[in-house]
């Protein structure tokens, strides 16, 4: 279980003459093996929220706890997937996927075997020796997902991972992700700007306020799992998207 209690984070402004409050009084509980999507206006602190859970940013106030233990830095129980792929440009697909295992001093034969299994699982068999520049955006994001899964984290923190690919690829990646999670049973916090994506993927949707970010609403997504291919036709799907849009619309300046 992930628990955020009274979390606050402030940054210096770009001109250095003031402060920007990214999060204030952020309270959130995410249950084990739950898929929570985070939605909110641009600049509301969604990425900051993920980085504090990952242990990449220290909080100014409050705390993040995982299974009752305070987060004091990065740990093997968490892995992040970024929008910009963050792959090693000089390394082939196998090396990129195995990178986290290499940092953990896993022997080369074992880490490469694990990498190849995941490369196959994300649909990239045959591309093991390709470099990032030889892959499409969707393929690069599959590599990023495989790399995160390679270290077998309990928690996946995903920062708009499909935001930079075209609509068709995005839908395929969503389906691939859901299929993988049916087998691996991870806890997921998934930041997105898309109401469609949030409802399609999440068990719950956290709607954040404009900066300083905190929880404005928590919407339960009572749709069947595994999600059917014709989910768009489910009446509750459209209702939830409209509910989220009406709230987001009221937040616009």
In the chain, how long is the greatest CA-to-CA distance?
55
pTM, full prediction: 0.91
What confidence score (pLDDT) does residue 161 get?
A: 87
Please choose, from the candidates 43, 41, 38, the residue with its C-alpha nearest in 3D space to the C-alpha of residue 13.
43
The Cα-based distances of 220 to 7, 35, 130, 207, 236 in angstroms read: 23, 11, 41, 11, 11
Length, in residues, of the chain: 253
What confidence score (pLDDT) does residue 117 get?
A: 92
Instruction: Spell out the per-residue pLDDT of the chain, length 253, in tens.
Output: 999 999 999 998 777 677 889 999 999 999 999 999 999 988 899 999 999 999 999 999 999 999 999 999 998 899 988 887 788 999 999 999 999 898 888 999 999 999 999 999 888 999 999 999 999 988 998 999 899 989 889 999 999 988 878 888 888 888 888 888 888 889 999 999 999 999 999 999 999 999 899 999 999 999 988 888 888 888 899 999 999 999 998 887 6
d(CA 14, CA 1): 35
**Is 186 within 8 Å of 195 (Cβ atoms)?**
no
What confidence score (pLDDT) does residue 32 get?
A: 95
Over the stretch 109-147, which tens digit does the pLDDT of each residue have?
999 999 999 999 888 999 999 999 999 988 998 999 899
What confidence score (pLDDT) does residue 225 get?
A: 86
d(CA 18, CA 51): 22
**Is 20 within 8 Å of 208 (Cβ atoms)?**
no
The Cα-based distances of 16 to 12, 20, 24, 45, 201 in angstroms read: 6, 10, 20, 19, 39
Q: Which residues are CB-contacts of 51 (< 8 A; sequence separation ≥ 6)?
A: 57
């Amino acid at each position: 279980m992930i628990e955020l209690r009274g979390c606050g984070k402030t940054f210096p402004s770009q001109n250095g003459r003031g402060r920007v409050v990214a999060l204030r009084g952020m309270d959130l509980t995410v249950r084990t093996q739950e898929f929570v999507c985070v939605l909110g206006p641009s600049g509301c602190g969604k990425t900051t929220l993920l980085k504090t859970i990952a242990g990449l940013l220290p909080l100014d106030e409050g705390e993040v706890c995982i299974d009752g233990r305070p987060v004091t830095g990065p740990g093997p129980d968490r892995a992040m997937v970024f929008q910009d792929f963050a792959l090693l440009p000089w390394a082939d697909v196998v090396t990129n996927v195995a990178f986290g295992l290499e940092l953990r001093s896993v022997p080369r034969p074992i880490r490469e075997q694990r990498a190849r299994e995941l490369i196959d699982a994300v649909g990239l068999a045959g591309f093991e020796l390709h470099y990032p520049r030889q892959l499409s955006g969707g393929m690069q994001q599959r590599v990023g997902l495989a790399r995160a899964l390679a270290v077998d984290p309990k928690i996946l923190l995903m920062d708009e991972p499909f935001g930079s690919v075209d609509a068709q690829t995005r839908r395929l990646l969503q389906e691939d992700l859901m299929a993988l999670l049916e087998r691996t049973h991870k806890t997921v916090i998934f930041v997105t700007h898309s109401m469609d994506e949030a409802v399609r993927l999440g068990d719950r949707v956290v709607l954040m306020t404009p900066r300083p970010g905190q929880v404005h609403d928590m919407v339960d997504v009572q749709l069947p799992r595994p999600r059917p291919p014709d989910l768009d036709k489910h009446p509750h799907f459209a209702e939830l998207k409209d509910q989220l849009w009406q709230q987001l619309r009221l937040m616009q300046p």
